[in-house]
Amino acid sequence: MNLFKSTVGRKILMAATGLCLVGFISVHLIGNLSVFAGPDGINAYAEHLHALGPLVWVFRLIMLGLFAVHITFGVQLYLENRAATPDSYAVQKTLVTTFSAKTMVFTGLIILAFLLYHLLHFTVQITNPDISAHNIALDAAMRPDVFTMVTASFHNAFIVIVYIVAMIALTLHIFHGLSSWVQTLGWSTGTSQDKVTFIGKLVAIGYGLAYIAIPLLLLARIVK
C-alpha cells in the first residue's frame, strides 16, 4: 500500500500525525497552565524552552512537517470525498454522523487560521507590539516576561473571544479525532475500542475546558 497515494494510507498518516499534534497540545497545555503559578511559573518554563537553543528549531521543523502532512491530506481527502459519486457519498453520510465528524475540515481550517494569528501574536509578537515580551522589561529574575505578555493580552476581550472560538474549534476537532483514530489505524477491538473512544472524548472536553480557562480567568482578573 502506498501511504501517500491510497485513501487508507493517507488516513493512517492523518491519524498518526494528528496523534503527534495532540501530544504537542498536551505538553503546550501543561506549559500554559503554569501561568496560574505567576511569573515564576510561565517565565521559568519559557526560559527553559528557549535554553534548548538549536533543538527548538529541530522541534519547529518537525511540527511544520506534521502540520503540513495533516492539513494537506485532510483537505485532499475532504475534496475527494465531496467529488465522489452520490452513491459513495450516501454511504459516507450514514457512517459519519456526529457534528464534530462532519465539521472536521472547517474546524481544522479555523485552527490553522488561529495558529497563524497565534504565532504572530506570541512568537513573532507583531500583532500587539505594546504588550509583547520584546517590548516589556525582563522580570525580576532577568527572564523574558512571558507572564506579562500573556496576562496583558488576555485583559483584551477581543483577543479572548478569538482564543475561545479557536479553542471550541480545537475541542470539536480532537473530539472526533481522538474517538476515531483506533478504527483508522485498524486497531478496533470491540469493547476496548469503546473505552478508548470514551476516554478520547473525555480528554478532548478536558483539554477544551482547560485551554478556555486560561484566557477566561485572566480576563476575569481571577488570576492577575
Site residues for ligand HEM per CB under 6 A: 25, 28, 32, 46, 56, 60, 63, 111, 115, 118-119, 122-123, 146, 150, 163, 170, 211, 214-215
Nearest to 151 by CA among 29, 51, 47, 39: 39
Using alpha carbons only, what angle is made at residue 189 by residues 183 and 192, rounded to the nearest 5 degrees?
A: 100
Which residue lies nearer to ligand HEM by CB, 19 or 96?
19
Residue 187 DSSP class: -
User: Could you write out the DSSP letters of every residue in 92-145?
Assistant: HHHH--SHHHHTHHHHHHHHHHHHHHHIIIIIS--S-GGGSGGGS---TTSS--
Nearest to 182 by CA among 204, 107, 169, 190: 190
Which residue lies nearer to ligand HEM by CB, 20 or 25?
25
Min. distance of Cβ 198 from ligand HEM in angstroms? 23
Q: Residue 191 corresponds to which amino acid?
A: T
Min. distance of Cβ 70 from ligand HEM in angstroms? 11
Which residue lies nearer to ligand HEM by CB, 118 or 201?
118
Min. distance of Cβ 75 from ligand HEM in angstroms? 17
Min. distance of Cβ 93 from ligand HEM in angstroms? 29
Is-contact 163 213, C-beta < 8 A? no
Min. distance of Cβ 102 from ligand HEM in angstroms? 21
Which residue lies nearer to ligand HEM by CB, 131 or 214?
214
Which residue lies nearer to ligand HEM by CB, 32 or 179?
32
State the CB neighbour count (10 A cutoff) for residue 218: 22
Is-contact 121 127, C-beta < 8 A? yes
Which residue lies nearer to ligand HEM by CB, 132 or 179?
132
Min. distance of Cβ 35 from ligand HEM in angstroms? 7
